Amino acid sequence: MRFTQALTCLPFFASMAISAWNDFTNLHPVLAPGYDTAKLANIAPSTNVTLDYSLDALDPRSSVSIDLQTYEPVVLLEAIGSVLQVACTYNAVTIGFDNPAALERAASEWPHNGNFWLITSHLGNCNAPGERGIYLVTGLDWNNDAKMVTAQTAKMGFGSIASSIAVTFSDVQGSLSNNSGNITFDEPGINVASNFSLPTDEEILSEPPYFTATAKNGYLSDAAVIRGHFSYDVPTKQLQSLWFDIDSAFYGDLAVAFNVTAPFNSNRYSFSPGTFFASAVNVPGAFSLQPALRWTVGADVGTDGAIQHNSNITMSIPDGHAHIDFLNSSSSYIVGWGPRLTSAVQTDEAATGHASPFVDFSIELALSILDGAFNATGGVAATPQFVNELNVAQSQTRIRKTDRMVWPRNITCSNGFELRSAFNFSVDAYVTDSWQKTLYSTEIPIDDECYPF
């Protein structure tokens, strides 16, 4: 006996053209837009300083912005347009100005006994490429004729200078504001993507000697734009806020052949085709953010007899937006996530049972603040499942999952088997060792028919 069925719920989304992804190693300092380098007022030390970083050499918009509140005042040298040159040794920073007025302003504003900070950037040899240097000033020597000052210094890190640190990732102003399903992947910021192909006819699930599942074909693709913010109080080591907005799209095409030769109890099987780690978004000493994209392919299978069943599902989510508040699960929510599906099944041998493949796709973010003073990991996971439940008229046994798999039966087959199919889809957010919450869940009935032997 042979039966073939093809069902279409919604068309899947077209492929996206994406330029640069996953490599954040070129993160480099840029001057925050709030600073006007022509203003001599920037020479005055301040206990509030903003440090911006960009991933795009041609786009001045920042990908990361760090706001520091400091114990002692800070002079941000890159914000002073009249600084002509900077040179560093192991215990001194020498600064040259291009006019006497700037030198005089520094002499009047900078504490002569030191006890303030200098932050260096692109000038001189004071820091590694793509980084800033942080120096505690302990004394000053002035050379008016050369328009230079030499500061006796000790090189320090973010943990020494900051009483609090707040970091903003990408342009949060537009985050989750566009509910139309349009995701812009060409903005400067944290854009990640991956894809996996399963080898044809690869056995991915099994329970010898009674059960195997073979991938006839499989392709998985995903993309995400990540924005977010955290603030951290250094003396108390307390996180004040931490949230991320994730705009994501994914596509999966999976064909699985199930072969069951004898009865066995229901179980969930899974296979991981891989985890993709983009490069970390890293400002040394301040924070490190590691994005990871994970895929799992699996199935819920159980039967009271032999089954030969093929399931083919193509699904896409072109408009998944999630707001994840790591400190407050009740403030987490999603927008969009409308599933699109094309499916087909073929049953060559039937028994009462089920063979229901699923795909689990997750975007995970691991954050480390101040070289491990605080660590947190969390993300969002989407799980589409193609539920196929078979009921043979002669069988009195019901093999199913513990929870209900599909909607209540509306037909009874007298001579043959019943096939009930549905598309289940859920989106969960989580913070490891803290909380997990289902933000969205839907069940879409596809078919409930009788087929004769």
Query: Model confidence over 179-231: pLDDT tens digits?
Result: 444 455 555 568 888 888 888 998 999 999 989 999 998 899 988 989 999 99
- Structure tokens that stand for 83 in this block: 């600084």
Question: Confidence band (pLDDT; 50, 70, 90) for 127?
Answer: confident
> What does the alpha-carbon distance between residue 325 and residue 229 come to, in Å, rounded to a whole number?
10
DSSP code for 13: P
Give 13's pLDDT tier (boundaries 50, 70, 90).
Answer: very low
Rounded to an integer, the average pLDDT of 269-296 is 91
* Range from 40-54, 292-306, 414-428 carrying the lowest mean pLDDT: 414-428
At 80-118, the pLDDT tens digits run: 999 999 999 989 999 999 999 999 999 999 998 889 999
For 371-384, write each residue's pLDDT tens digit. 999 999 999 999 99
Task: Give the 3-state secondary structure of residue 242.
Answer: strand
What is the pLDDT confidence band of residue 57, given thresholds at 50, 70 and 90? low
Q: What is the pTM of this model?
A: 0.85
Least confident of 33-37, 123-127, 178-182, 322-326: 178-182
Cα gap 156→67, rounded to integer Å: 17
What pLDDT does 59 receive? 63
Q: What is the DSSP letter of 266?
A: E
Tell me if residue 378 falls in helix, strand or coil: strand
In terms of Cα–Cα distance, which of 294, 308, 420, 300 is closest to 365? 294
Mean pLDDT of all residues in 55-79: 86
User: Torsions phi, psi of 41, nearest 5?
Assistant: -60, -25
351 or 424, which is more confident? 424
C-alpha 60/C-alpha 171 separation (Å) is 12
Q: Using 50, 70 and 90 to split pLDDT, how confident is the model at 17?
A: very low
| DSSP, res 209 | T
- CA atoms 57, 60, 65, 67: torsion sign: positive
| DSSP string for residues in 386-403 | EEEEEEETT-------SS
Q: What is the pLDDT of residue 362?
A: 93
pLDDT for 449: 82
- Predicted pLDDT of residue 60: 58
| pLDDT band at 171; cut points 50, 70, 90 | low
Instruction: Measure the CA–CA gap between 171 and 188, rounded to whole angstroms.
Output: 8
Q: Name 168's Cβ contacts closer than 8 Å, sequence gap at least 6.
A: 64, 65, 67, 228, 229
Q: How far apart are CA 334 and CA 323, in angstroms?
A: 6
Name the 3-class secondary structure at 285: coil
Give 84: exposed, middle or buried? Use CB within 10 Å, 0-12, 13-18, 19+. Answer: middle
pLDDT above 90: residue 20 = no
Q: Residue 88 half-sphere exposure, CB side, CA atoms within 13 Å?
A: 22
In the numeric block, which tokens belong to residue 351? Answer: 């028994």
Q: What is the pLDDT of residue 196?
A: 84
Q: Is the pLDDT of residue 174 over 50?
A: no
Place of tokens 């508040």: 325
Interatomic CA distance for residues 47 and 116, integer angstroms: 9
Between 22 and 247, the higher pLDDT residue: 247
Strand 116-120 with 64-76, pairing: parallel
Q: How many CB atoms lie within 10 A of CB 20?
A: 12
Q: What is the mean pLDDT of the chain?
A: 85
The single residue listed with the structure tokens 């949060």 is 172
Q: What is the mean pLDDT of residues 127-145?
A: 93
Position 16 scores a pLDDT of 33
